[in-house]
Chains A and B, each alone.
Chain A
Amino acid sequence: MVALPGENTPAEPSSYDDDGKPGFFARWFYSTNHKDIGTLYLIFGIISGLIGGFLSFMMRMELADPGIQFFTNEHQYLVYVSMHGLIMIFFMVMPALIGGFGNWFVPIMVGAPDMAFPRMNNLSFWLLPTALICLLISFVVPGNANGNGFGGSWVMYPPLSTTGHPGPAFDFIIIGLLAEGFSSIFGAINFITTILNMRAPGMTLHKMPLFAWSVLVTAFLLLLALPVLAAALFMLFTDRIAGGTGFFDPARGGDPQMFQHLFWFFGHPEVYIMILPAFGIVSHIVSTFSKKPIFGYLGMAYAMVAIGVVGFVVWAHHMYTVGMDVDLKAYFLAATLVIAVPTGVKIFSWLATMWGGSIRFTIPMQWALAFIFLFVVGGVTGVMLANAGVDAYLHDTYYVVAHFHYVLSMGAVFGIFAGFYYWFGKMFGVMYNKWLAAAHFWLFFIGVNVIFFPQHFLGLNGMPRRYVDYPEEFAIWNAVSSYGAWITLAGVAFFFLMLIEALILNRKRVGDNYWGEGATTLEWTLSSPPPYHQFNTLPRIEDNAEH
Chain B
Amino acid sequence: MRSKNTIIALAVAIVLAVISYVILAFVGLSGERGMGVPADNGFYLQDSATPVMDDLTKVYNLVTYIISGIVAFVLGLMAYIMIRYREKANPVPSKTSHHVGLEVAWTIIPVLILIVIAIPSMNLLYKQDVIKDTEVTIKAVGNTWNWAYTYPDHENVEEIISNPLDETQSKEAGKPYLLATDAAVVVPVDTNVKVLVTSINNMHSWTVPSFGIKMDAVPGIINETWFRANREGTFYGQCSEICGIKHYYMPIEVKVVSKAEYARWIANDGSFTTSVANNNSILGGGKTAAQK
Contacts and interface: CB of A to CB of B under 8 A. Distances in A.
Which 7 A-B pairs give the minimum distances between C-beta atoms?
A250-B220, A389-B124, A380-B67, A323-B223, A356-B94, A457-B43, A326-B129
B153 interface: no
A396 B78 CA distance: 33
A341 B86 contact: no
B97 A296 contact: yes
Interface stretch (A4-12, A34-42, A88-96, A286-294): A286-294
B193 interface: no
A466 B202 CA distance: 15
Contact of B202 (A160, A322, A360, A380): A160
Given A460-B42, A470-B178, 4 more contacts: A256-B203, A296-B98, A356-B90, A359-B81
Contact of A392 (B212, B247, B248): B212
B150 interface: no
B247 A467 contact: yes
A152 B205 CA distance: 15
Interface in B217-242: 218-221, 223-224, 237-242
Interface stretch (B31-39, B183-191, B272-280): B31-39
30 contacts: A153-B242, A160-B202, A160-B242, A257-B218, A291-B93, A292-B94, A321-B215, A344-B106, A345-B106, A349-B103, A353-B97, A354-B85, A355-B85, A356-B93, A358-B85, A358-B90, A359-B86, A359-B87, A381-B67, A387-B121, A388-B121, A393-B212, A462-B237, A466-B242, A466-B247, A466-B248, A471-B176, A473-B40, A474-B38, A475-B41
A329 B125 contact: yes
A467 B245 contact: no
Among A146, A321, A347, A383, chain B packs the most CB atoms within 10 A around the CB of A321
A390 B121 contact: yes
Nearest to B106: A348
A253 to B, nearest CB: 9
A329 B215 CA distance: 14
Contacts of B37: 471, 473
Interface string B74-95: 1101100110011100111111
Given A157-B203, A250-B219, A333-B118, A369 B247 contact: no
A464 B240 contact: yes
B220 A340 contact: no
Contacts of B203: 157, 159-160, 256
B176 A380 contact: no
Interface string B23-55: 000000000001001111111111000000101
Contacts of B169: none
Nearest to B249: A469
Contacts of A358: 85-87, 90-93
A95 B128 CA distance: 42
Given A333-B121, A387-B121, A396 B214 contact: yes
Contact of A299 (B66, B103, B218, B244): B103
B216 A321 contact: yes
A373 interface: yes
Nearest to B246: A74
A473 B97 contact: no
A390 B124 contact: yes
B119 to A, nearest CB: 11
Nearest to B2: A356
B266 interface: no
Given A360-B87, A467-B247, A473 B202 contact: no
B41 A473 contact: yes
Interface of A: 73-75, 78, 144, 146, 151-153, 155, 157, 159-160, 163-164, 250-251, 254-257, 290-297, 299, 321-323, 326, 329-330, 333-334, 337-338, 340-341, 344-345, 347-349, 351-361, 369, 372-373, 376-377, 380-381, 383-384, 387-390, 392-393, 395-397, 456-457, 460-477
Nearest to A290: B93
Given A159-B219, A160-B243, A376 B124 contact: no
Given A160-B203, A295-B97, A351 B78 contact: yes
B38 A357 contact: no
Among A151, A377, A393, chain B packs the most CB atoms within 10 A around the CB of A393
B138 interface: no
B192 interface: no
B34 A473 contact: yes
Contacts of A291: 93
Contacts of B177: 471-472
Interface stretch (B109-117, B155-163, B257-265, B284-292): B109-117
A341 B108 CA distance: 8
Given A157-B203, A373-B75, A471-B178, A354 B117 contact: no
B219 A256 contact: yes
B7 interface: no
B242 A78 contact: yes
Given A256-B203, A357-B93, A393-B209, A290 B85 contact: yes
Contacts of B4: none
Contact of B207 (A347, A464, A466): A464
A457 B125 CA distance: 23
Given A356-B93, A387-B59, A389-B55, A469 B126 contact: no
Contacts of A321: 205, 214-216, 240-241
A347 B81 CA distance: 14
A357 B90 CA distance: 7
A397 B77 CA distance: 32
A447 to B, nearest CB: 20
B218 A473 contact: no
B22 interface: no
Contacts of A381: 67
B36 to A, nearest CB: 10
B128 A392 contact: yes
Contact of A355 (B59, B81, B214, B248): B81
B64 A347 contact: no
A383 B68 CA distance: 11
A340 B114 contact: yes
A469 B251 CA distance: 12
